[in-house]
Homo-oligomer: A and B are copies of this chain.
């Protein structure tokens, strides 16, 4: 672990220089990363295809998302208002005591350790949203390369290093650790005194272990782990009476897209028993049977899917509704599967509340709306929750809307939960255990808020204040000045 110590000390030294760079100085670095990734061309895409078993079109799209994110943060740095500047000017004549001049803005907290996700080798890995937002905030980044796409990660790390060099970033601003599967390497990174925050996307076990370690440090640090989520979908009565078939067609796609390997995959669909739900199940089953098994990210993910699916289907009262009728052509292909269970049994068996990561969904058949509400009350925190409903359904069931909103990071109306837009309006991060900290998003501009804290300057001379806080507002950013939003 001597190597880890050296990397973190370099990162900490880099922080002393990197934190002083302005937004306009950091933005070209982020743009250069995007360019260097693009310059790797199809070599990079093909490497990822081989390592992560993902199709070309998907990876080309994901690469676009990754470079778009980097440029979005560059735009944000150039615009500058993200620092949440707040200025209260002095009132020397105030009675009984004068009011001091107080000016606050967000500043970076220090080196960030990033653990990439297996299911997004570009957008949630080496140069993904965690790295982009941390570098944008002014924090150096150390990435532990994901063993599932080690070569891809090394190639992207090379792109970041070239970008850092050609834009003159301090040595150590970015580092890449090829730790393989080693738990010890991850632990050493999280426990190092110079590490100030951790970002992780993956399993509950992995994310929670990092969180626990970080809290047991002499100086605890925040860990932003995105973990598991079953993303409940609620089928409301009027909607189902009007549209059960279309809902089923839509959900057959959402359950199986990307071989079910999205964190927002709809793993639980809750409806009310009756002819509408049976029609939904019939159409859904027909569709699922026609969808071919797909090769999963890696052998570990496949084994895990196979094991959890087997356990779920073997639970007392669980009915296997449909299984793909198309034969597997490779060992590590996940079989599209839909099962069902009664509300009573679901309520009594917590095993059924757990995520089965892959192309699987469980339909819960509730007796009535009261039982449906009870089922929702038993669910844990989720990344997303979805209502398939008419406006009448919503108006007649405000409690259900309220419950779903308070359970999830994103409440979705008549859509599929898969598909996560990169924008201000999107929250990707829900109450525990879907993430370790639902107060932050890992997607979109606000992801930068994970790696900063507010700092106040009291009674500082104008010319020694950061530009963000100068009375003259040279950056022309939005600020709260004496209680009012203004430029």
| A402 at the binding interface (Cβ < 8 Å) | yes
**A22 on interface, CB distance cutoff 8 Å:** no
Complex Cα gap A170–B465 (Å): 46
List the B residue with the shortest CB-CB distance to A453: B439
Q: What are 18 A-B pairs with beta-carbon distances under 8 A?
A: A20-B402, A81-B485, A88-B425, A101-B425, A104-B424, A212-B215, A391-B464, A394-B464, A408-B455, A411-B456, A412-B459, A413-B457, A423-B483, A425-B456, A426-B456, A427-B455, A441-B454, A446-B454
> A219 on the interface (CB 8 Å rule)?
yes
Q: Which of A331-339, A361-369, A414-422 sits within the interface?
A: A414-422
User: How does the 8 Å CB contact mask read for A445-470 relative to B, with 1 for contact and 0 for none?
Assistant: 01000001111111111011000000
For the complex, give the distance between the alpha carbons of A477 and B460 in Å.
31
With a CB–CB cut-off of 8 A, which chain B residues contact A88? Answer: 421, 423-426
A478 within 8 A of B: yes
Specify which chain B residues have a CB less than 8 angstroms from the CB of A408 in the assembled complex.
Answer: 455
Q: Does A103 belong to the interface (CB within 8 Å)?
A: yes
A88 CA to B427 CA in the complex, in Å?
Answer: 12
- Complex contacts, A460 vs chain B, CB 8 Å: 411, 413
B391 & A461 in contact (Cβ 8 Å cutoff): yes
Q: Are A458 and B391 in contact (CB under 8 A)?
A: no
Complex: how many Å from CA A415 to CA B483?
23
Contact mask for chain A residues 80-100; partner B; CB cutoff 8 A; 1 contact, 0 none: 010000111000000011011
Determine whether the beta carbon of A458 is less than 8 Å from that of B411: yes
Min CB distance A217 to B, Å, is: 9
Which of A33-41, A172-180, A198-206, A430-438 contacts its partner?
A430-438
A456 CB to closest chain B CB, in angstroms? 4
Most B-side CB within 10 Å, residue of A415, A426, A432: A426
Besides A410-B457, A426-B456, 17 other CB < 8 A contacts?
A: A87-B425, A88-B424, A100-B421, A102-B423, A211-B220, A212-B215, A391-B461, A391-B463, A408-B455, A410-B455, A411-B460, A413-B458, A413-B461, A414-B459, A441-B454, A446-B454, A478-B485
Interface flag for A19 (CB, 8 Å): yes
The yes or no answer to A409 lying at the interface (CB within 8 A) is yes
For residue A406, CB closer than 8 A to chain B, the reply is yes
Contact B427 A456 (CB under 8 A): yes
Smallest distance from the beta carbon of A426 to chain B beta carbons, Å? 5
Q: What is the total number of copies of this protein in its complex?
A: 2
Q: How distant is the Cα of A61 from the Cα of B438 in the complex, in angstroms? A: 38
- Please indicate the chain B residues that have their CB under 8 angstroms from the CB of A429 in the complex: 454
Proximity string of chain A (218-233) to chain B, C-beta cutoff 8 Å, 1 when within and 0 when not: 0110100000000000
Q: 6 closest A-B pairs (Cβ-Cβ)?
A: A102-B425, A88-B425, A86-B424, A427-B456, A410-B456, A412-B458
Q: Can you name the residue of chain B whose Cβ is closest to the Cβ of A87?
A: B425
A107-B405 contact given A415-B100, A464-B395, CB 8 Å threshold: yes
Q: Is A16 at the interface (CB under 8 A from chain B)?
A: yes
| A480 touches B (CB below 8 Å) | yes
User: CA A14 – CA B313 in complex, angstroms?
Assistant: 39
Report the separation of the CA atoms of residues A463 and B392 in the bound assembly, to the nearest whole angstrom.
12
- Which residues of chain B are near A381, meaning CB under 8 Å? 219
CB 8 Å contact bits of A371-397 with B (1 = contact, 0 = none): 000000000010000000001001100
Known: A88-B421, A107-B406, A410-B458. A453 touches B426 (CB 8 A): no
Interface residues of A in 150-182 (CB under 8 A from B): none
Q: Measured between C-beta atoms, what is the minimum distance from A166 to chain B in Å?
A: 26
* Chain B residues within an 8 Å CB radius of A103: 425
**A47 to B378 CA separation, bound complex (whole angstroms):** 46
